[in-house]
Amino acid sequence: MKKILLIYLILFSANSYSQPPVTAIFEVDMNLYPNSYSTVEFYRGGQSYPMINIGGNHYQYTTTVPGFQASNYTYKFKVDSILESFNGAESCVAITPTDTLRVINLNTNAPSIVCWETCSFCIIYGCTDSTASNFNPIATVDDSTCITCNYGCMDTLAMNFDSLATCQDTSCIYPQIFGCTDSTACNYDFLANIDDSSCGYIVGCTDSLAFNYDSLSTCNDSSCLYEYNVTFQLDLREQVNISYLIPEINGAFNGWCGNCAQMTDVNNDSIWEITIPLLEGSGPSGAPGWQYKFSADNWNVEENLFSGDPCTFTSSGYTNRYINVTQDTILDPVCWQSCVDCFGPQSSYNVTFQVDMTNVNGFSVPEINGEFNGWCGNCWPMTDVNGDDIWEFTTLIDTSLQEYKFSADNWNIQEQLDSSMSCVLSIIDSSGNVYVNRYLDINSDTILEVVCWEECTDCFIMQPSWDCNGQGDCFNPGTGLGLYLDSLDCTLNCQTTQLMEMNNNYIIYPNPTCEFIYINSKENIDNIIIYNKIGEIIFQIDNPNLMTEINFSGKSSDIYFMEIYYGTNIYREKVIYTQ
């Protein structure tokens, strides 16, 4: 009996492994897959194999299956990381202990094209007639919508364009268009169908009127530059402080040559002129235009221009005028060292700074630093010509409110200014840093008074020392910050009304301001009066609220003085308004 069973097993095993292998092509149609995807794979036995996109959103996988596996071959399709999902009721699947898979007997059946997660092909309705004008190559079920082709020329550029044609044929006739048909040429004509040997390959300026005309160029590259006549006018009317014979213009366009571009005053009106052909554009890079300035007698005298003026440009320590040339231009007359004519309002004036260094040791050369020179360090050094320890420097300064301070030896030392002094401004930046600087606001040539280092007065002015307590009694607080020079001055002028600085009961902000000033008070105020520098009342508010708003819009940028009255008390504060 055992021998019979062994022979049977050997025969069964030999029969099973003697079945030939089967080559199968699996194909899935992804046209109805609801989402976007990137890869489609064949999945079997925990392994994924890439499928080939054969077009039309169809993917194939070809494999050779051993004969003993072919009768019950299980698999799935996989999109990106997602496997097909079945409920087990489908006709093409089998339920295993761990999964529900597609199953096929490859010994008797070839795999059909199937839709994702179905046992049949995708049902896509449309025209399946390839000769129809509306043929849908992915349609699997014809929906009787096919439109019979009306053949003809459908190219609107053709001479025989047929607007009724629904299918393109080869009947189009085109007009003869001569031109360059070489797509690599700079003058390639995509409409040309007959080459006329006009192809060019050199680009440049082809305009013979241009400054940079290139006779060898065959294609214009928009690089043409043109010269324009520019007339410069220098107004020297009533300029008695300048000693000159013949003014001249020097700039980047003539190499700052000296007297090679002398000006003329044909009608003797003291307005000197010269016309120069200048190349269009802004000249050398870095400036907003061609840089230039006026001088006289081969640089014997030259303009000293202020860097903050609207007609100037500063680079590498040099401040010059500039012009951007776009056409023939006659510039308006401008006064020496000014952006306007000699009878127009000036935008800058000569200012002489003076600082007394008598009480300062350990320095070599004082200097001025401010908004007007970008806090540059030692670019504006001062001089002490007569050795009296009073150092001076004269320069052009803009008419706007300017902050500055004295320093020495390229910021080696600098003034440490007390914010309570009358000649300073306190500014708080966006980071909360407090800066205390001197300030000036000029509208004419000015020689500033000599001031002592870190003081508002010169080094020999007696400082007020005595104060009044508001009850008619005088005393010396010993701070040097009193209101009266001595006891006699205090006795003669002391009133029972007390004069004091702002205290914690009142807050004024922002100061300086560009529009509104706000006064917050913990006590009722009788009235608020604001004066300008010549003592005129510009605001008076009686019985104001605990929070008062004052609008400076329309007023001139300047320094104003505020008085707040409460009972017998007067609180005073300096207010800065700048537009």
d(CA 454, CA 360): 10
pLDDT over threshold 50, residue 10: no
User: Above 60 in pLDDT, residue 496?
Assistant: no
State residue 8's pLDDT score: 47
Q: Which of 33-47, 204-218, 467-481 has the highest mean pLDDT?
A: 33-47
For residues 1 and 458, what is the distance between their CA atoms, to the nearest angstrom? 136
Paired residues of 234 in beta bridges: 272, 334
**Distance (Å, whole) CA 153 – CA 168:** 6
Q: Express each pLDDT in 246-301 by its tens digit.
A: 999 999 999 999 999 999 999 999 999 999 999 988 776 667 789 999 999 999 99
Residue 542, burial from CB neighbour count under 10 angstroms (0-12, 13-18, 19+): exposed
- Considering only the top CATH level, what class is 18-115? mainly beta
Contact between residue 38 and residue 80 where contact means Cβ atoms under 8 Å apart: yes
Lookup result for tokens 């002489």: 352
Query: Parallel, antiparallel, or unpaired: how do β-strands 141-142 and 125-126 relate?
Result: parallel
Residues of the chain with CATH 2.60.40.10: 18-115, 227-335, 348-452
Distance of alpha carbon 102 from alpha carbon 127, whole angstroms: 31
Mean pLDDT of 299-304: 94
Q: Which residue has the higher pLDDT, 93 or 132?
A: 93
62: tokens are 């070809």
227-335 classified as CATH 3.20.20.140 = no
pLDDT surpasses 60 at 471? no
- pLDDT(489) > 80: no
CB atoms under 10 Å from CB of 366, counted, come to: 25
Give the right CATH number for 502-577 from 2.60.40.2470, 2.10.109.10, 3.50.50.60, 2.60.120.10.
Answer: 2.60.40.2470
Residue 493 is predicted with a pLDDT of 63
Q: Which of 452, 378, 366, 376 is nearest to 410 (CA)?
A: 378
Average pLDDT for residues 414-420, to the nearest whole number? 91
What letter does residue 417 receive in the DSSP assignment? -
Write the pLDDT tens digit of every residue in 22-42.
999 999 999 999 999 999 999
**What single-letter DSSP state applies at residue 197?**
S
Q: Which CATH architecture has domain 348-452?
A: Sandwich (2.60)
CA dist 400 to 214, 308, 403, Å? 51, 10, 10
The pLDDT, as a whole number, for residue 503 is 56
Comparing CA positions, the residue from 330, 268, 320, 264 lying closest to residue 294 is: 320
For 122, other C-beta atoms within 10 Å of its C-beta total 21
Question: Does the structure show a pLDDT above 50 at 500?
Answer: no
What distances in angstroms separate CA 541 from CA 382, 509, 517, 537, 562, one per listed residue?
A: 46, 17, 13, 11, 11
Name residues whose C-beta falls within 8 Å of residue 461's C-beta, 6 or more positions apart in sequence. none
Residue 4 has pLDDT above 80, yes or no: no
The confidence band for 159, taking pLDDT boundaries of 50, 70 and 90, is: confident
pLDDT at 124 exceeding the cut of 80: yes
Name the segment(s) of the chain with CATH classification 2.60.40.2470.
502-577
Q: How far apart are CA 362 and CA 409, in angstroms?
A: 10
Specify the pLDDT at position 490.
64
Give the mean pLDDT of 545-555. Answer: 85
